[in-house]
Amino acid sequence: MNREVLEKINEIKEADILVGIPSYNNARTIGHVVRAVQAGFAKYFPDRKTVLVNSDGGSTDGTMEVVHNAGIDDFRSILLSHKTSSFLKIAIPYHGIPGKGSAFRTIFQIADALKVKACAVVDSDLRSITPEWIELLIKPVVTDNFDYVAPLYQRHKYDGTITNSIVYPLTRALYGRRVRQPIGGDFGFSADLARFYLTQNVWETDVARYGIDIWMTTSAIANDFKVCQAYLGAKIHDPKDPGSDLSAMLYQVVGSTFDLMNTYAGVWKGVTGSRSVPTFGFHYDVGLEPVSVNLERMIERFCLGVRELGSIWKDVLSTGLFEFFIDLTTSPQEDFAIPDGAWVETIYSFAAAAHKKLLNREHLLRSLTPLYIGRVASFVKETRESSAAEVEEKIEALCRVFEEKKGGLKRDWD
């Protein structure tokens, strides 16, 4: 850590609670996030010494200046009659590999140096964060001794398709915990867990660049830390069309998930079934921003992928599954469907192929994109008229198939 940060730490000495905000060119949104954090501290932790840390990746739009200047001018506006105990801010550039993980490392180091009891990290572009988020992410750690608080959001049925179709069902089947948003972006954690993260040898790797969320969740579960989730309502961010180019994100997230399967093979091979984790927060429905979907374009991209990437898939998929995808390109659009069983077998086949290094890793993972887009198209077709609750039940059904077929993964793996 640089001299300025060390001086600030020496000045503060110790604190009770720390919230970190990683940022990169977020001047437009970060002021709202800072005010929400300050209000959360004031309303829910008035007697604690609290610190906000902005760990910035070299913004050129004045993000750090906004952090310094943002604050609540009138505490009566948030129904508080008095100014509360000390609220301190640190805004610093982080060093290391560019990416969210390096920002997190700085936050963890400051939390460790200040001997805080509980920490949280929240995204810098949140438009929907409220002061209650700070209570929901921190209080389970402070009052119930949880080590990790994952976020639980209400999302549009076509938002978060990588989570819904791959990351949630796969991590649930592997590690046996039903953490619904394993790559949510906003987390609470204990001082013990922050220290554990700092000891892990990942900070100069791709994890620090773009796999930090799934790494934090998986590491907490696989190392037997006490895990829960908190309902935060809507996460309003820029919605992505699931048919648009998500190949980079898919490559990053799925690649990190597969890497963790190698790290924790000794853990997940011994897990059968899954169980729920404690959930905090009052459940309520929220209005969600629409997500547009171009079904025709998605099916076209799937068919193009089959033509261009068939030679790669031949080495990865069973003959029956490979021929099923070939046949799907000639079926009429109204009959287009990739059932749960075929999809689970596809993901497990790719995981085993990545483990065995059957092909160049990047080629293998990027070749999954058209299959993923085909699966999302199939899901959209199937759920066009479905309510949010019905869609959630379909995702639950997919999770159960992941759990049932896990024995096949173990056999392929070895």
Tell me the pLDDT tens digit for each residue of 173-218: 999 999 999 998 899 999 999 999 999 999 988 888 889 999 999 9
Q: Is the pLDDT of residue 96 over 90?
A: no
pTM for the structure as a whole:
0.93
**374, 304 Cβ separation under 8 angstroms:** no
CA distances from 109 to 34, 119, 194, 209 (A): 20, 11, 8, 17
Residues facing 153 on adjacent strands? 233
Contact partners, residue 401, CB within 8 Å, separation at least 6: 169, 340, 341, 344
Confidence of residue 100 (pLDDT cuts 50, 70, 90): confident
pLDDT in tens, 268-280: 999 999 999 999 9
CA distance 288 to 311: 41
Tens of pLDDT, residue by residue over 285-313, are 877 667 778 899 999 999 999 999 999 99
> How do residues 309-341 score in pLDDT, each as one tens digit?
999 999 999 999 999 999 999 989 899 999 999
* 238 pLDDT more than 80: no
Does residue 41 surpass a pLDDT of 80? Answer: yes
Question: What domains can you pick out in the chain, each with its CATH number?
Answer: 3-280 (3.90.550.10), 295-413 (no CATH)
Query: Tens digits of per-residue pLDDT, 361-397?
Result: 999 999 999 999 999 999 999 998 898 889 999 999 9
Closest CA to 27 of 66, 53, 56, 55: 66
Burial class (CB in 10 A: 0-12, 13-18, 19+), 282: exposed
